[in-house]
A and B are shown apart, each in its own frame.
Chain A
Amino acid sequence: MDIDGFLRDSLSRRRFFHMSGVSLAGGSAVFLTACSDDTKTPVAGPDESDEADVEILNSALDLELMAVAAYKTGAAKLNGEVLAVGKLFLEQEQEHADGLMAAIKDAGGKPNRAKASYDFPALGSQTDVLRFAIDLENTAIAAYIDALPKLGEGDLRATAAAIISNEAEHVAVLLGALGEEQVPDAFVVGKVA
Chain B
Amino acid sequence: MAPRERIVVADGAADTAQIAEFERDRRELLRRGLGLGAAVIAASSIPLLLSVRNAFAASSGDAEILSSAIHLEQVAVLAYEAAINGGLLTPAFAKVVGRFRDHEREHADTLTTALTDLGGTPPAKATAADIDGVAKGLGDARSQADVASFAIELEMAAIAAYLDAHRRLIEAKLLQTGASIMANEAQHLVVLRQAVKRDPVPKAFETGQA
Contacts and interface: CB of A to CB of B under 8 A. Distances in A.
The answer to whether A binds B is: yes
Interface of A: 20-21, 23-24, 27-28, 30-31, 34-35, 45-47, 49-50, 52-53, 88-89, 91-93, 95-96, 99, 102-103, 105-107, 141-142, 144-146, 148-173, 176, 182-183, 185-189, 192
Contacts of A160: 166, 179
A149 B165 CA distance: 13
Nearest to B178: A161
B206 A152 contact: no
B133 interface: no
B13 A155 contact: no
Given A27-B22, A146-B13, A182 B37 contact: no
A152 B181 contact: no
Interface of B: 10-11, 13-14, 18-19, 21-26, 28-29, 32, 34-43, 45-48, 50, 99-100, 102-103, 106-107, 110, 159, 162-164, 166-168, 172-173, 175-191, 194, 200-201, 203-207
A166 B206 contact: yes
A52 B29 CA distance: 16
B19 A20 contact: yes
Contact of B100 (A88, A144, A183): A183
**Chain B interface, DSSP helix/strand/loop, else mixed:** helix
For the complex of A and B, 6 pairs with smallest distance between CB atoms: A46-B39, A152-B36, A149-B172, A153-B37, A154-B167, A152-B37
B166 A34 contact: no
B189 to A, nearest CB: 7
A156 B156 CA distance: 20
B38 A49 contact: yes
**Chain A interface, DSSP helix/strand/loop, else mixed:** helix
B22 A150 contact: yes
A156 B176 CA distance: 14
B46 A155 contact: yes
A176 B167 contact: no
A102 B43 CA distance: 10
Contact of B187 (A88, A158, A183): A183
Contacts of B41: 50, 53, 103, 106-107, 153, 155-156
Contacts of A30: 25, 29, 34, 36
B180 A188 contact: yes
B45 A102 contact: yes
A151 B121 CA distance: 29
21 contacts: A24-B22, A34-B32, A53-B41, A92-B201, A95-B204, A96-B204, A103-B45, A148-B166, A148-B175, A154-B37, A160-B166, A161-B179, A166-B205, A168-B184, A168-B206, A169-B189, A183-B100, A186-B184, A187-B177, A188-B184, A188-B187
A28 B99 CA distance: 43
B46 A141 contact: no
Given A92-B201, A188-B184, A189-B13, 7 more contacts: A47-B39, A95-B205, A106-B45, A152-B35, A162-B48, A186-B106, A186-B184
B45 to A, nearest CB: 4
A141 B38 CA distance: 27
Contact of A169 (B40, B107, B168, B201): B201
B23 A149 contact: yes
